[in-house]
Structure 1
Amino acid sequence: MPKSSARPGRSRPLPPLPSLRGILALVFSTVLLTAAAPLLALGAAQPAAALGNGLAPTPQMGFNDWNAYGCNVSESLIKSTAQAMHTNGMQAAGYTYVNIDDCWMTHNRDSGGHLVPDPAKFPDGIKGTADYVHSLGLKLGIYEDAGTATCAGYPGSLGHETTDAQSFASWGVDYLKYDNCNNTGVPARTRYTTMRDALAATGRPILYSLCNWGQENVWTWGADVGNSWRTTGDISPTYSSMLSIFHSNVGLASYAGPGHWNDPDMLEIGNGSMTATENRSEFSLWAEMAAPLIAGTNIPQASSATLSVLTNSRVIAVDQDPLGRQGTIVSSSGGLDVLAKPLANGDVSVALFNETGSTATITTSAAAIGKTGASAYTLTDLWSGGTSTTSGTISASVPAHGTVMYRVAGGTSGGSTSVTGPLHAVGSGKCLDVPNSTTTAGTQVEIWTCNGGANQTWTHTASDQLTVYSGSGQMCLDAYDNQTTPGTKVEIWQCNGQSNQQWSLNSNGTITGRQSGLCLDVAGGATAGGTLAELRTCNGSSSQRWTLG
């Protein structure tokens, strides 16, 4: 059965008739924290260390039981789902995680303070279930809550983070979805960071999915804490819900990248009132936005139509592209949207999305999506597989609520248009930063926790400058004293048009100095805030990969 209500605390209104899950969550929100360990106070002066667990270099793919089954989770359900994924093409397509949601445990911890899997639902325990899932070459995920109780009223992890993380690791858990109900008003970053550190201390690689519903601007601090973070309230299996979620998530591209992704919630493909056209749109848009692809339908009984959407290898390749760029809006007018996503091999993925209720022609151009330098471009339709060529115009008749998706090859990427936004360092998850927002010429730039400040907002101009600030205070990224040797510091200086202030943004994520041919690099490959930027010989390492915008 589909999920019946949003979890409490969302910006999206609750439905008029709350579900049992919603009622339980409200009841348990009054529970006081009685055994909490001292909580970590996060200072504003020094950012938290980057997550650095090496997981989710591309958005995670898998299954979660909540959308289709609610509280009716069990060992047999998880095993049958894993077996179906193993044989129906999903595992081969890249789906890796089989995730248990709420209601898997008993209502009380044991005498040692440990969570207890419900023996009726999980007779072999979570460990036995994990062993089975692992035997198929898949991974197991579990659910908990960063409050005193889960959204359905089972024991939460607030104050028990170390104990619970150790339990998860001992059971062989590979993924934690961490919810936000009954949080007693403790700031989310504090609660989620405490579990981050507890998971790291176990020594087991556990992908960490933050589920605080987009509250407290989680995208501004999530990269230091988790591998993904929910940007919105709960999705439901309707076109209107999917559309609202899309609008909330699409503008957050600058915060996403390898190892840290915006999460617009689980897929509703195969559920509720979603039509085949709307299912394809959801999958196209989630892939274009580099979102986690977590299927939420009845996998063992999924129709061939549902599976054909979930396993479309051409669309999945866009989502899983190693460059790790989230697509952005190129144009939007009257409900007709054009999105573009640069890809690692220099191609660009384009989604033409028709929000309206009538068929419409949507048109853009190679130049508008950042493609130049070719007399003809090859378009591959990612749903039909067909190919065509164009001298520059990209256009399609798109059905109501539908999406046409192309992969555009040929020419070069970049174009003559400027791009503005944070400059994310892929290796650290931090942003290129002018220390203390100074405007003093000669100040060496560094990496620091992304905060959206003007000192972290860069524009790659049509003349290949990287500028920071605006108006009379505008400065340019500059290679010190026109030097071209490895180790040259990278600083800000008054813009002067010289070649030591010209930078090429390459399709592999590197940024090279036009004068030196060297790559913009984080010194020593370090990830700590305050690490300086410099020029180094290009070597393909993550400390030399960047995403802008």
Structure 2
Amino acid sequence: MGFNNWNSTHCRAEFNESMVKGIADTFVAQGLKDAGYTYVNIDDCWALPDRNASGDLVPDPARFPHGIKAVADYVHSKGLKFGLYSSAGTKTCDVQGFPGGLGHERQDAELWASWGVDYLKYDNCNNTGADAKQRYKAMGDALAAATRATGRPILYSICEWGSNQPWTWAQGVGNSWRTTGDISDNWSSMISIAHQNQSLAPYAGPGAWNDPDMLEVGNGGMTDTEYRTHFSLWSQMAAPLLIGSDLRTASPATLAILKNTEVIAVDQDPLGRQGTVVSDSGGLVVMSKPLADGGRSVTLTNETSSTRTVSTTVKDIGIGGASSYALKDLWSKATSTTTGAIGAPVPAHGTVMFRVTPGSPVPPPTGVNQLSDLPWTSAVGGWGPVERDRSNGEQAAGDGRPLTIGGVRYAKGLGTHAPSDIAYYLGGGCSALRVDVGVDDEAPNTGSVRFQIWRDGTLAADSGVRTAADPPVRLNADLKGATKLRLVVTDGGDGITYDHADWADARLACGSGPSAGTHELSDLAWESATNGWGPVEKDLSNAEQAAGDGTPLTINGTVYAKGLGTHAPSSVAYYLGGTCTSLTTRVGVDDEVTTKGSVDFQIWRDGTLAAESGTLTSADAAKALTADLTGALEVRLVVTDAGDGIDYDHADWAGPRLVCG
């Protein structure tokens, strides 16, 4: 955050030592320093057209009669920092062509450090066609060496205009990189630059920022409504906020925009995430930015020429899991609450900006839950949104395909793209997570990712690097007592190229299982029950119609006091929570069926078949089944029609007993 003179003065005579000192004074007097603005930066035209006999850059004595160091010292005396400009070419960008830094990197960096420079904007003119990565790395290395020698950090702003996609290589070389050409003081230029920068959100992060150029707020080419949109979008994109207007003559309206500390707090949020577009239709654009407190900043932008209502939901902006959410309009300061809907009438070219804060989170229900069925507290994807029960198609919500890893298709799960981070509130009541992970089959062979499960800041499971050629691998995480669960995907160390990452069949076990001892299964509450005809009955056969219309459970003349009466196809699930060891039961077709009926009984533990009867008919005696359930989160009792249709398939689970503890 700071100031740069170029947008307001260019190379005119008014750009001089007096102006720069006046800006530093204004930072303090107008409260801009207190609002977070730190850097007072000067742009092109500060030097003489030629280096001296020693090859050093020389400040223009007409503009800076006391030299650059004296100006830097004055800025420092105000508790601020000082920035300078050069170009990664033989000359700078102004038509007069002042000396550039190409071939003089080490010499210039040492000189600037001796002057007390804290920031370098390094432009891209007159570069003789030399490789951009090499030119910018050479200056980055020189600045690092100067910092080591003097102890003075110099923030390195790469101004390469996005010509060579610096977002793919400049992290680690510089601290920010221009993603676009120069901004102009009009709506068309500003909103076009915003569009170009919005798609690059996955590349930004702490200490490495996409830079869509300096602010035009207050220069007169846009309305205050448009300037508020400009400032809102730059803050939502975690962009550098460099004031480009002459603050000494700034209007109260301009200063009010620039000093909106709540919007600034979004830009400077310590999580360091750039906001992403979550919807864009007919000129109505919604962006969501994750914040360190678990909330979201939301911008509702109307790019059309008339007032329109722009709306979204808490689910669409990537948060959930709470019963209500506090909304604060960061421009009007109005506050409200919502259970999910977010919207407002927005004037032409305007933006409404909300801070959305979740209320008390709601823990997951008892049982085995599919994560894709639960509301997350936050979800941040690399490209495009996190998808439920679909792969990540990189663009709009719902554009993915069925989750498929190594040819294995999954009905349930989460589709993401690295880098991604999905958080759930557990409230200490869950015990375990089981999930299959891998690169989705829609990704070409370039995809490689790493899956991590975190519980309350501690790593609970790690997949190692998985590639598009690998089959799914299962991760198990102990979550006993954990308050928060995070599912994190990183890029595997080779960049974010087609890193389509699936969390497949993610089952979360919550709540306590049955108490220690032996339980009659019909005395326990099931998680879910589906049945072919009529309801599943407890301690009665299934007579196909209303509840309680059956008879005592009877198989081949033997009556059973306890059990479940079902009709194929049926499935009855019980939550175990990993505390039970075995299930024993007898199974068969109930005697109320005389000549028809054929079924197959199956016991499933956590998606794996644990016992099966084979085909049984009304003529067969009851068959004993035993299933090992040690450590299982869930058991399911399934009856199929044995392949011949559901004709009088009255199926009894007779005397099923569950041993736990």
| TM-score, normalised by the number of residues in structure 1 | 0.71
Q: CA deviation at 1:390?
A: 1.0
Question: What is the aligned counterpart of 1:294 among 224, 242, 246?
Answer: 242
Is 1:282 the counterpart of 2:243? The answer is no
Matched, 1:131 2:108: no
CA distance in 1, matches of 2:459, 2:231: 46
Residues 1:490 and 2:464 aligned together: yes
Kindly state the Cα deviation for residue 297 of structure 1 after the two structures are TM-superposed.
0.2
**Aligned residue among 63, 83, 86 for 2:28:** 86
1:379, 1:133 → 2: CA distance?
39
Alignment-mate amino acid for residue 136 of structure 2: Y
Q: Does the alignment pair 1:307 with 2:269?
A: no
Residue in structure 2 matched with residue 68 of structure 1 by the alignment? 8
- Counterpart secondary structure, 1:79: helix
Relative to structure 1, the CA distance from residue 477 to residue 224 in structure 2 (aligned partners, 3 Å threshold; closer, same or farther) is closer
Question: Of the candidates 152, 159, 174, which is equivalent to residue 226 of structure 1?
Answer: 174
Aligned residues: percent identity?
Answer: 54
The aligned counterpart of 2:290 is 342
CA-CA distance at 1:89 after TM superposition: 1.1
Q: Quote how far apart the aligned CAs of 1:131 are.
A: 0.4
Q: CA deviation at 1:179?
A: 0.3
How far apart, CA to CA, are the structure 1 residues paired with 2:187 and 2:174? 29
Taking the aligned partners of 1:372 and 1:521, their CA distance within structure 2 comes to 23
Equivalence for 1:169:
113
Q: 1:159 to 1:336 in 2, by over 3 A?
A: same
If each structure's helix is expressed as a fraction of its own residues, which one has the higher value? 1
Backbone CA RMSD of aligned residues: 3.4
> Out of 126, 129, 145, which is 2:87 matched to?
145
Equivalent position SS for 1:388: strand
- What does residue 435 of structure 1 align with? none
CA contact (8 A) 2:46 2:60 kept: yes
Distance 1:500 1:288 in 2: 35
- Note closer, same or farther for the CA distance 1:466–1:81 as it changes in structure 2 (3 Å cut): farther
Deviation of the 1:421 alpha carbon: 4.0
- Partner in structure 1 of residue 163 of structure 2: 215
Cα distance in 1 for residues equivalent to 2:380 and 2:19: 50
Residue type of the partner of 2:195?
A: H
Please tell me whether residue 155 in structure 1 is matched to residue 155 in structure 2: no
Offset at 1:377?
Answer: 1.0
Question: For 2:439, which of 468, 481, 488 is the aligned residue?
Answer: 468
Q: RCO higher in 1 or 2 (8 Å CA, sep ≥ 6)?
A: 1
Runs of 4+ aligned structure 1 residues displaced above 2 Å come to 411-422, 455-480, 484-502, 519-523
Deviation at 1:456, TM superposition (A): 8.4
Match of 1:191 in 2: 135
Contact 1:457 1:468 in 2 (8 A): no
TM-fit CA distance, 1:82? 0.6
Relative to structure 1, is the Cα distance of residues 398 and 490 closer, same or farther in structure 2, using a 3 angstrom cutoff? same
Match of 1:259 among 207, 217, 230: 207
Q: Secondary structure at the match of 2:287?
A: strand
Q: Classify 1:467/1:291 alpha carbon distance in 2 versus 1 (closer, same or farther; 3 Å).
A: farther
Query: Given residue 287 of structure 1, which amino acid in structure 2 is its aligned partner?
Result: S
Please list the CA deviations of residues 424-467 of structure 1 after superposition, one character each: whole Å capped at 9, or x if unmatched: xxxxxxxxxxxxxxx99xxxxxxxxxxxxxx9846668998764
Report the residue type matching 1:349 in the other structure: S
Task: Please report how far the alpha carbon of residue 86 of structure 1 lies from its aligned counterpart in structure 2 after TM superposition.
Answer: 1.1
Shift of 1:110: 0.5
For 1:94 and 1:79, the matched residues in 2 are separated by 18
Deviation at 1:488, TM superposition (A): 7.0
Cα distance, 1:466–1:396 mapped onto 2, change above 3 Å: farther
For residue 278 of structure 2, what is the aligned residue in structure 1? 330
Asked if structure 2 preserves the Cα contact closer than 8 Å seen for 1:140 and 1:175, the reply is yes
Match 1:77 to one of 6, 19, 22: 19
SS in 2 for 1:361: strand
1: distance between equivalents of 2:144 and 2:475?
Answer: 46
Structure 1 CA distance, aligned partners of 2:452 and 2:309? 46
Q: 1:416 to 1:327 in 2, by over 3 A?
A: closer
Greater strand fraction, Structure 1 or Structure 2: 2
Q: Is the 8 A contact 1:146 1:191 kept in 2?
A: yes
Equivalents in 2 of 1:459, 1:470: separation in Å?
18
Which range is displaced more, 271-280 or 401-410?
Answer: 271-280
The one-letter code of the counterpart of 2:229 is S
Distance 1:63 1:409, change over 3 A: same
User: What's the CA shift string for 1:320-342, capped at 9, x where partnerless?
Assistant: 00000000000000000000001
1:5 maps to which residue?
none
Q: Which amino acid aligns with 1:183?
A: N
State whether structure 2 residue 304 is matched by structure 1 residue 356. Answer: yes
Gap runs ≥5 in structure 1: 1-60, 423-438, 441-454, 514-518, 530-549
Aligned counterparts of 1:379 and 1:186: Cα–Cα separation in 2: 51
Letter in 2 for 1:119: P
What's the offset of the Cα at 1:375? 2.3
Q: Distance in 2 between matches of 1:372 and 1:154?
A: 55
CA distance in 2, matches of 1:136, 1:376: 45
Partner of 2:524: none
Distance in 2 (alpha carbons) for counterparts of 1:220 and 1:488: 26
Q: Contact 2:287–2:298 at 8 Å: present in 1 too?
A: yes
Q: What whole-Å deviation, never above 9, does each CA across 1:177-227 have from its counterpart, x for those lacking one?
A: 000000000111110000000111112200000001111111111112110
The answer for the alignment partner of 1:111 in structure 2 is: 53
Q: Give the direction of change, closer, same or farther, for the CA distance of 1:464–1:147 in structure 2 (3 Å limit).
A: farther
Report the structure number with the largest CA radius of gyration. Answer: 2
**Cα distance in 1 for residues equivalent to 2:178 and 2:168:** 12
Q: Aligned partners of 2:154 and 2:235: how far apart in 1?
A: 23
Deviates more, 1:382-391 or 1:470-479: 470-479
CA shift in 2, pair 1:187/1:323, >3 Å: same
User: Cα 1:202–1:335, aligned 2, differ >3 Å: closer, same or farther?
Assistant: same
Aligned partner of 2:315 among 340, 364, 367: 367
Q: What displacement does 1:498 show? A: 4.3
User: Offset at 1:494?
Assistant: 3.2
Matched residues in 1 for 2:358 and 2:383: separation? 26
AA at the equivalent of 1:490? G
Please give the alpha-carbon distance, in whole angstroms, between the structure 1 residues aligned to 2:160 and 2:380. Answer: 34
Cα gap change, 1:197 to 1:335, in 2 (>3 Å)? same
The answer to whether residue 381 in structure 2 is matched with residue 419 in structure 1 is: yes
Give, in whole Å, the separation in 2 of the partners of 1:500 and 1:476. 19
- Cα gap change, 1:468/1:415 in structure 2, threshold over 3 Å: closer, same or farther? farther
The one-character-per-residue Cα deviations of 1:309-354 (angstroms, maximum 9, x if unpaired) are 0010110000000000000000000000000001000010000000
Kindly tell me: are residues 258 and 485 of structure 1, through their superposed partners in 2, closer, same or farther at Cα, counting changes over 3 Å? closer
Structure 2 residue runs without a partner (length 5+): 362-374, 385-404, 407-415, 424-433, 496-661
Report the CA distance shift for 1:121/1:471 in structure 2 as closer, same or farther (over 3 A). closer
